[in-house]
Amino acid sequence: MLNTEIKEIDKYSLSQAKTLLENEELVVFPTETVYGLGANAFSDKAIKKIYEVKGRPSNNPLIVHVHTSYDIEKLVYIDHDYVYNLAQKFLPGPLTMVYRSKGVVSPLVCGLGTLAIRVPEHKGAQEFLKKVDMPIAAPSANISKHVSPTTAEHCYADLNGKVSLILQGGKSDGGIESTVLDCTKEIPVILRKGLITKEMIEEVCGKCEYATFVEGQQVSSPGVMYAHYMPNCQTALFKISEIDKAKELYLSFIKNGKKPYFMCDFQTKSVLGKEYNFLDLGSSSKECASNLYDKLREGERVADIIIAFEISYDDELSLSVMNRLVKACGKGLYT
Ligand code: TXA
Ligand code: MG
For the segment 241-288, what is each residue's pLDDT rounded down to a tens digit?
999 999 999 999 999 999 999 999 999 999 999 899 999 999 999 999
Amino acid at 280: D
Q: In whole angstroms, how far apart are CA 294 and each of 50, 148, 222, 326?
A: 23, 9, 25, 16
Report how far ligand 1's centroid is from the alpha carbon of 131 (Å). 23
Considering the chain, what percentage of its residues have pLDDT values greater than 70? 94
Q: Ligand 1 within 6 A of 140 CB?
A: yes
Rounded CA separation 19/87 (Å) = 30
Q: Ligand 1 within 6 A of 330 CB?
A: no
Q: Strand, helix or coil at 40?
A: strand
- pLDDT on residue 238: 95
How do the pLDDT tens digits run along the chain, 335 residues long?
A: 999 999 999 999 999 999 999 999 999 999 999 999 999 999 999 999 999 999 988 888 999 999 999 999 999 999 999 999 999 999 999 999 999 999 999 999 987 899 999 999 999 999 999 999 999 999 999 999 999 999 999 999 999 999 999 999 999 999 999 999 999 999 999 999 999 999 999 999 999 999 986 555 555 555 555 567 899 999 999 999 999 999 999 999 999 999 999 999 999 999 999 899 999 999 999 999 999 999 999 999 999 999 999 999 999 999 999 999 999 998 644 33
Amino acid at 96: T
Q: Are 97 and 83 in contact (CB under 8 A)?
A: yes
Q: Ligand 1 within 6 A of 56 CB?
A: no
- pLDDT on residue 170: 98
Would you mind telling me the total number of residues written for the chain in this entry?
335
Q: 157 phi and psi, to 5 degrees?
A: -60, -40
Helices and strands (DSSP H and E) totals, the chain: 10, 16
Q: Ligand 1 within 6 A of 61 CB?
A: yes
Report how far ligand 1's centroid is from the alpha carbon of 5 (Å). 26
Q: Mention every residue, 6+ apart, whose C-beta is less than 8 A from residue 238.
A: 245, 246, 307, 308, 309, 310
Q: 64 phi and psi, to 5 degrees?
A: -95, 130
Q: Which helix (H) or strand (E) holds 85?
A: helix 82-90
Ligand 1 atom at minimal distance to the Cα of residue 192: 19
Q: In whole angstroms, how far apart are CA 269 and each of 44, 168, 176, 240, 278?
A: 48, 33, 22, 10, 8
Report how far ligand 1's centroid is from the alpha carbon of 211 (Å). 15
Looking at the CA of 146, name the nearest ligand.
Answer: 2
Q: What is the CA radius of gyration of the chain?
A: 20
Report how far ligand 1's centroid is from the alpha carbon of 156 (Å). 21
Q: Ligand 1 within 6 A of 129 CB?
A: no
